[in-house]
Every structure is written in structure tokens, then in C-alpha cells.
Amino acid sequence: MSERLPDFPWDLLAPAKRTAGAHPDGLVDLSMGTPVDPVPPVVREALAAASDSPGYPLTAGTSALRTAITEWVVRTCVASPGQPADGLGVLPTIGSKELVAWLPTLLGIGPGDTVVIPTVCYPTYEVGVRLAGATPVRTDSLTSLGPARPKLVWVNSPSNPTGQVLPAGHLRKVVDWARERGAVVASDECYLTLGWEEQPVSVLSPEVNGGRLDGVLAVHSLSKRSNLAGYRAGFVAGDPAIVSELLAVRKHGGMIVPAPVQAAMVAALGDDEHAAAQRATYSARRDVLRASLVKAGFEIEQSGAGLYLWATRGEDSWSTVDWFAERGILVAPGAFYGPAGERHVRVALTATDERVAAAAERLEI
């Protein structure tokens, strides 16, 4: 199996991490989107209260969790006053990366099938396609595919790593194109609520799907919104027929979110106050890092939303990684995300205020 999968990208960063770690003031790790802020008390309390859970949890999620997901999706993704939630399929997942990696397999996609992934994207999209034995096709222009009939089309807005936001009109064209060919559109929207210069729109919005859910899925995560990366708390929502199919397969595979985590998700989804506070924290860190990068001679491209700054100074991304490492800062090379990213680096906002300030100081020397 290892022969048909790429190297795990972050293993390749080990030499740069050693260099950066030798800095007298210590490492500033901006290479991964790993939350560093505390889990909200309301979530921790819910987790603890549900810790006595000796029985098997429901793969479909508790009634309370399904309701919490549905209500959050309606107010955050559908964003259409009076739009009913009738018919919306929802399903908790063991984080969003798990769903991205296994969705092609869960849908029965395999050898001889093709899956469209973004030109520049998180490596797990390609990994998931290869795990299924299918063929990944990198493109942002579906018209370039001619008469091809892929089984699945991935979109990612806001993008990881670039922070690009796809307009509603673009997403609508993707959905229409896929429906004409019987393909599923899966939209990774884990950074939907982190719009800065641009406001992202969900594939679940009637503006995009025409008020129909057929052939459409949206993938979400509480890792960044609520600092629950360690809980592995995500969900998928959309076409009820497809969600039912995913549920049936996941039951057989034992792909179940633990009961205490399900209770924690209910608390997190029902509390927007902590999410707003976390968003403000990321916004402040973003302002500091962006200003420092620009002063250091970097151009910030796209980056209108999400948890990363997509930076370049026109050289090979690994050379830029080395430049940062010499200053005790670890960033991710754009090469991780496809050939089109080879002249950029991804700079994460997920470090403490103190470490972000340290990075800014080093960049401005």
C-alpha cells in the first residue's frame, strides 16, 4: 500500500524543524493548523458529564447531535430565512480528514473511476482517491475535462492552503456540471466561518444548489472553530440519499464517533459565543503575521479566508522553508499541495500570541 501513496508530507519537514528548533528563543511552529488555545469550558463539561458511556454509541449520532448539526447547518450554511431543514442528511464523522480520506471508498469508487481534486489542495484528497484505487485529476476548470464523467468532484472553499474563496456563481456551475454527469460534489468547508476579506458561501446554500440537495455534500469540522482537533469531531451534511449510503457502510466499518465526543459536539455547536471569541483571536494573529511577512518582502496571495497565509517571494518553496528555519520559524512548503504550489509557503495562524509575536520580531530583523 505504501507504494501507491505519497510520503507523509510533514515527515519531510524534519530537517527544517531541527534547524528551526536550534534558535536561541526556541521554535515557532507555523507549519500545521493545530489549535493551541484551550477547549471551551462548556465543551469540556459536556464531555466529562458523558464520560460514563459503557455502551456502543450510535453511528448516526444521537438525536440531540443530529438536531444540533442540522440547526447549525441551517443558520450557518443555508443562510436563507425560512429555508426548511426538511430532507437534510447529517452524519457525524471522526474528524473531517477521515471523511476526506475515505469518501471515495465509502461511495464505492474504485479502479477505472476518476475523481476531480483542486489544482492546489491538501494532500489527503489525492490520498483518498488512491486508497480507493481510482485516478485523481487535478484541475480547477471542469470544462478542460471534455466528455469525462468523474464519479466525485472535490471543491475546497475557503481553500487549505491558499485561503481562496470560490464565489457562489462558480460553485453553482460546478454543481450544475456535476449533476449533468451524475457526479457527487463534495465541498470541504471546514474554514467557512473564517472569512476575512471575503465571505465564503456553502454548497448547501440555495444560492449554489438551487434549493436542491441532490448530489451535494458539505464537510465540516469543529477542530478549528472550537479547538476540538484532539476530539476528532466533524460531520457531513447534504443529500439524504448519499448520507444514508455513507451511514450504511460506516455501520459495517465501525466508523463511530465516541459517545462523550458526541455530547461535546452538541455543546460546541449550540454555543456561538466561544467561536466568535476564537475567530477574533485568529484575526489578531493574522494581522500581526501578515504585516510582518509583507515587511519582510513577501507577497500574500489569495488568503481571503481560513487559517493560513499563502506567501511567496518567487523562489522554490523549499528554499523559502530553509530561510524561515534559519530564523527559528517552521512553515509548510507549497510543494506539499501540488506542483502549482511550488513557489509558495503556507503560514499557519495557529500559534500562541507569544509565539506569533516572536515570529513577527524575527521576520522584521
Per-residue pLDDT tens for 269-294?
Answer: 999 999 999 999 999 999 999 999 99
Model pTM score: 0.95
Mean pLDDT over each residue of the chain, to the nearest integer: 95
Q: Is 128 helix (H, G, I), strand (E, B) or coil?
A: helix
Domain segments of the chain as ranges = 2-38+273-363, 54-271
pLDDT at 302: 97
Kind of pairing between the strands at 234-238 and 184-188 = unpaired
- The cell 451535494 sits on which residue? 216
Instruction: Kindly state the percentage of the chain with pLDDT values over 70.
Output: 97
Q: Is the pLDDT of residue 83 over 90?
A: no
- Maximal C-alpha separation, the chain: 59
Q: Is 152 helix (H, G, I), strand (E, B) or coil?
A: strand
Q: What is the DSSP string of 244-299?
A: HHHHHHHHHHT----HHHHHHHHHHHT-HHHHHHHHHHHHHHHHHHHHHHHHTTPE
Per-residue pLDDT tens for 188-213?
Answer: 999 999 999 999 999 999 999 999 99
CATH topology of domain 2-38+273-363: Aspartate Aminotransferase, domain 1 (3.90.1150)
The Cα 355–Cα 352 span in angstroms is: 5
Q: Domain 54-271, CATH 3.30.530.20 — does that match? A: no
pLDDT at 365: 80
Q: Which of 329, 331, 278 minimizes the C-alpha distance to 308?
A: 331
| pLDDT band for position 87 (cuts 50, 70, 90) | confident
**What's the whole-number mean pLDDT along residues 308-321?**
98
Phi, psi of 24 (to 5 degrees): -55, -30
Among 74-88, 166-180, 210-224, whose mean pLDDT is lowest?
Answer: 74-88
pLDDT at 82: 53
The Cα 306–Cα 163 span in angstroms is: 5
Q: Is the pLDDT of residue 55 over 60?
A: yes
Per-residue pLDDT tens for 320-347?
Answer: 999 999 999 999 999 999 999 999 999 9
Is the Cβ–Cβ distance between 245 and 239 less than 8 Å? no
Other CB atoms within 10 A of residue 357 CB: 16
Per-residue pLDDT tens for 209-241?
Answer: 999 999 999 999 999 999 999 999 999 999 999
> Where is 98: in which H helix or E strand?
helix 96-106
